[in-house]
């Protein structure tokens, strides 16, 4: 009985967002005359710091530069940007923010995250059949990365076939059940909110680049198209440098973020329950610690 109640609660949370989605699209779509050029770049988060993949954060930055970005929309929420929770988000977000002035683009924090309590409830009753299919697809995808012999992991992540695999995982597997949809961070709503948060930056820009985990690209593209915007997934424009050297400003910012995450975890900062649980349930502190160790060797 308790399990049924939880399921009904979670399904209600998911579908509350649907009327808003339809309303927003009908209200905003096709009102833009001077649309920017929009590019979608797939980040690989901690894998940027493995030289074997030939896709460092400096390579990512070079791709942004070659696209002549006016605005870079990054994977961090507006409320976490330059705040105590910044380190909870992918490292390349703070890095791209720190490099913005030097390369004459605006960094825009546009991510959105579901609250940890709702997501945890969904995870506790994640359908086993979907979990198995998801695990099989993910394992095969990772095997493909391990066997990839191309110039850069960028080429693998952005290959149409591999983008299609990730799209199918979320569209045909995860989205087949509202419980798994929420357990994966309310995937469609998250990507809808990402695009909604970006709209004010699209208005007066010529070139906008979204930098999010590779799995986001097809959904962000679809959400943009629903609002009358076209987005491209560009070919690689950089030659991998395997350059892991970072400015002291970036390193100092990451160290500060690590300190703040540790204080949140230990209850030494009066952050919200949601923030505290997100940090404690994640491996962000360990990942940031290891990344700093690697780049300072």
Mean pLDDT of the region 3-17: 44
Specify the pLDDT at position 19. 39
Residue 192 lies in a domain: yes
Any domain includes 30: yes
- Enclosing domain of residue 84: 2-244
> How many folded domains does the chain comprise?
1
**What's the helix, strand, coil split of the chain in %, to 5?**
60, 10, 30
268 falls within a domain: no
Tens of pLDDT, residues 114-173:
999 999 999 999 999 999 999 999 999 999 999 999 999 999 999 999 999 999 999 999
Q: Where are the beta strands (DSSP E) in 202-265?
A: 207-213, 231-232
pLDDT of amino acid 297:
76
Residue 261 lies in a domain: no
Average pLDDT, the chain: 90
- Classify residue 250: in a domain, yes or no: no
In a domain, 223, yes or no: yes
Is residue 13 over pLDDT 70? Answer: no
- CB atoms under 10 Å from CB of 151, counted, come to 13
Q: Assess if residue 256 is contained within a domain.
A: no
pTM score: 0.89
Whether residue 18 lies inside any domain: the answer is yes
């Amino acid at each position: 009985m308790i399990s049924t109640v939880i399921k009904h609660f979670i399904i209600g949370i998911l579908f509350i967002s649907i009327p808003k989605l339809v309303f927003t699209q009908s209200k905003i779509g096709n009102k833009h005359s001077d649309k920017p050029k929009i590019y979608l770049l797939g980040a690989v988060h901690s894998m940027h710091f493995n030289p074997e993949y030939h896709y460092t954060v400096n390579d990512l930055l070079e791709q942004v530069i070659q696209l002549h970005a006016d605005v870079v929309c990054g994977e961090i929420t507006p409320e976490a940007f330059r705040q105590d929770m910044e380190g909870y988000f992918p490292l390349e977000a703070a890095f791209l923010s720190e490099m913005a002035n030097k390369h004459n683009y605006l960094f825009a924090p546009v991510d959105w995250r579901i609250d940890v309590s709702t997501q945890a409830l969904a995870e506790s009753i994640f359908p086993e059949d979907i979990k198995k299919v998801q695990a099989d697809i993910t394992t095969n995808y990772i095997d493909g990365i391990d066997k990839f012999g191309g110039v850069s992991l960028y080429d693998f992540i952005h290959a149409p076939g591999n983008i299609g695999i990730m799209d199918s995982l979320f569209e045909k597997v995860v989205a087949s059940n509202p419980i798994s949809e929420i357990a994966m961070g309310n995937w469609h709503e998250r990507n809808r909110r990402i695009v909604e948060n970006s709209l004010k930056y699209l208005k007066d820009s010529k070139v906008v680049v979204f930098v999010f985990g590779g799995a986001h690209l097809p959904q962000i593209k679809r959400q943009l198209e629903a609002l009358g915007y076209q987005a491209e997934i560009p070919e690689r424009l950089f030659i991998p440098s395997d350059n892991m050297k970072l400015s002291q400003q970036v390193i100092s910012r990451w160290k500060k973020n690590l300190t703040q995450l540790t204080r949140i975890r230990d209850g030494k900062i009066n952050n919200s329950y949601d923030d505290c649980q997100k940090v404690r349930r994640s491996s962000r502190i360990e990942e940031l610690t290891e990344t700093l160790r690697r780049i300072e060797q």
